[in-house]
Structure 1
Amino acid sequence: MAEFKHIVRIADTDLDGNKPLVHALTGIKGIGLRMARAITNHLGLNAREKLGNLSDEEIEKLKKFVEENIEELPSWMLNRRKDLYTGKDLHLLGKDVDLAKKLDIERLIKIRAYRGIRHAKGYKVRGQRTRSTGRTGQTVGVQRRKK
């Protein structure tokens, strides 16, 4: 039997070899539990097998799929459908997720959309109340009347 690998590197992320395959894959930013299950089912791997116990061929197959061919999964599972710049269905991983989010917010600010203005001012964006929460600076309370 092949030796146990304590750390496996996939998509520029070090994954724990002691975890089951589906839970280890969630360590990659952009892959949740549902996506991890879809990947293991698509590749025909045992989801409960520890990542460190997989053979080198299986790890290479998994690595290649996650880094290059993840768009083979149904488009409704991908995290960046109909990308604004390319028009394609993409699935972003790692630092690309943060970069795309930052660029989207910058675009909203640039076109002066309502959400962009809220982001720029540092207010809550999704309709939450701001009267009592989300404050910065000194707290405001009720003052007592002097007797």
Structure 2
Amino acid sequence: MSQPTHGQSQSQSAKQSGEKPGGPHVAPRAVQHGGQIIVKMTGKESTDFRGIIRLLGRDVEGHTTVRNALRKIRGFGHNAASNLMRVILKELNVKPETLIGELSDQQLQAIETIAREPFKHGFKQHQLNHAKDPETGTARHLAVNDLIFAMRQGLEQERNTRSWKGWRLSIGQRVRGQHTRTTGRTGLTVGVLKKAIKAQKAAAASGAQEAGKKEEKK
């Protein structure tokens, strides 16, 4: 099967090879151009390669390495993704440089299981982003929608209890002691407003002077 060149659409390559568009043998790096999908091959793909992978509720491009794919998940920064990658390498024997599109469904399911419950796979409490749940008191690591919901609930609780943090959040101010003159500024720039006011005052003053001169001439 001949590989599609750069600038050749997925549908055209599928017609030449006799395969259906989007089949397993077509490993596109999807780029929309003129209503067509331009296929860009890297030469690293196998026959089981998939262009788009669903990982923890997020679509990840298949050419992304496993290490970088974990960093794209909300809730896993550089350190958390590195720690998670060590566990994946030890338990699943998946190398960090492996393309995410090369993994099977069983491997992806195992990665999601480890990512949702990392404390069961060697993660220590200080490595979790939710070390102590305020309701249950247990340690958890939240990701994607669970993390967004927990953050929203925490801020809402701060507002309802009228704590210092909640009060500052309710009026739209910073909560960690920053100077409000330089951080958290919204609306139009003060300098621009001052310039506009000065221009208006100068125009009004010049108009008043011209009116006074006309009255003197009369």
* 3-state SS, counterpart of residue 81 of structure 1: coil
Gaps (5+ residues) in structure 1? none
135 and 59 in structure 1: CA distance in 2 versus 1, 3 angstrom threshold: closer
Aligned to 2:62: 17
Query: Offset of 1:133 from its aligned partner?
Result: 4.6
Cα distance in structure 2, aligned partners of 1:136 and 1:32: 29
Please tell me whether residue 77 in structure 1 is matched to residue 127 in structure 2. yes
Q: How many residues align?
A: 146
Aligned to 2:83: 38
Please tell me whether residue 61 in structure 1 is matched to residue 110 in structure 2. yes
Please tell me whether residue 89 in structure 1 is matched to residue 139 in structure 2. yes
126 and 141 in structure 1: CA distance in 2 versus 1, 3 angstrom threshold: farther
Cα distance in structure 2, aligned partners of 1:136 and 1:75: 38
Question: What is the root-mean-square deviation of aligned Cα atoms in Å?
Answer: 2.4
Asked if 2 retains the 8 angstrom alpha-carbon contact of 1:5 and 1:53, the reply is yes
Please tell me whether residue 98 in structure 1 is matched to residue 158 in structure 2. no
112 and 56 in structure 1: CA distance in 2 versus 1, 3 angstrom threshold: closer
Gaps (5+ residues) in structure 2? 1-45, 206-218
Tell me which of the two structures has the higher relative contact order, counting C-alpha pairs closer than 8 angstroms and 6 or more residues apart. Answer: 1
Query: Offset of 1:137 from its aligned partner?
Result: 4.8
Q: Which moved more, 1:76-85 or 1:55-64?
A: 55-64
- Give the TM-score normalised by structure 1: 0.84
Query: Offset of 1:9 from its aligned partner?
Result: 1.3
Cα distance in structure 2, aligned partners of 1:36 and 1:116: 31
* 3-state SS, counterpart of residue 54 of structure 2: strand
Residue type of the alignment partner of 1:7: I
Consecutive aligned runs of 4 or more in structure 1 exceeding 6 Å deviation: 142-147
Cα distance in structure 2, aligned partners of 1:65 and 1:29: 15
Asked if 2 retains the 8 angstrom alpha-carbon contact of 1:22 and 1:37, the reply is yes
Query: Offset of 1:22 from its aligned partner?
Result: 0.9
Query: Offset of 1:105 from its aligned partner?
Result: 1.2
Instruction: Name the structure with the higher helix share.
Output: 2
Cα distance in structure 1, aligned partners of 2:85 and 2:182: 46
Aligned to 1:8: 53
Identity of aligned residues (%): 28
Asked if 2 retains the 8 angstrom alpha-carbon contact of 1:6 and 1:16, the reply is yes
Q: Which of 87, 98, 101 is matched with 1:52 structurally?
A: 101
Asked if 2 retains the 8 angstrom alpha-carbon contact of 1:5 and 1:17, the reply is yes
Q: Which of 50, 72, 92 is matched with 1:27 structurally?
A: 72
Cα distance in structure 2, aligned partners of 1:79 and 1:34: 11
Residue type of the alignment partner of 1:49: T
